[in-house]
Amino acid sequence: MDLTLLKGADSSGSATLEPYIRMVLMKHFSPRPCRLFLFDLDGTLIDSKEDIATAVNLVLAKLEFPPLPVSRVIQFVGNGVKKLLERTLREIHNQEPDEDLLLKGIEFFREEYAKHLLDRTCLYPGVQDALQRLSWADMAVVSNKPERYSRPILDGLGVSGRFRAILGEETAHAYKPDPAPLKIAMELCGAAAADTVMVGDSSVDIDAGKAAGVTTCAVSGGFHSRGELLTYHPDLIIDDLRELSDHFYNGRKPK
């Protein structure tokens, strides 16, 4: 079935069924070939909520502002450090923060988070097993988190060696949903978009994947609910990374 035919099919709203039909077909016709998995980090591979919130609240304390609950801080995560602090300070002030305050907040956050990278951060249950099950594929991390944080975290959790590339703002010079980081990772790993799957827990991951022309897979249980994930219209939604091996197989052609 050509799913593009469903778009604008009539004026009754049936076109809105297109992303859901795609997901049904994706599950029905699994497994599919794949050569490269691109993983988001926070909320996908690692549960870093507590440490991020700790660093944010230490910043707020330095600025003499009241702390925010973890559940609120996590709603601000996903578009890099600047956006995290911008959203946090906007929440405190009920208005856009001035540039000097924002820059000071960013500086404080970089200092504080570097001290608390692995206080409570851990892999989600099943991640080690999932990566082992996918050992036939290349894997890379594509995060909006700076690499100076991502690499030590993955090293400390004992999984950095699983990934051919670990990309953040220092390499990509762009943030998801811009597809540039994904395209750089595909180039580094020698994979085409048709052979690549973007796995993440947020709209920026799914939007970046769509813009890069890769298969998109949302994973629940991270920073966003399954209901939220549905609104992003990924090709596939899973509840556990171990499910990836049920939906994809080695797409490499034998030599």
What tokens does 20 get? Answer: 């859901």
Which of 142, 139, 114 lies closest to 206, judged by CA?
Answer: 142
Separation of alpha carbons 91 and 93, rounded Å: 6
- Known catalytic membership, residue 51: no
Separation of alpha carbons 126 and 49, rounded Å: 18
Amino acid at 129: D
Give the angle subtended at the CA of 197 by the CAs of 133 and 40, to the nearest 5°. Answer: 85
Catalytic residue of the set 2, 10, 40, 207: 40
Separation of alpha carbons 125 and 240, rounded Å: 8
Positive or negative, the CA dihedral 81, 83, 88, 93 is positive
Catalytically active residues, by annotation: 40
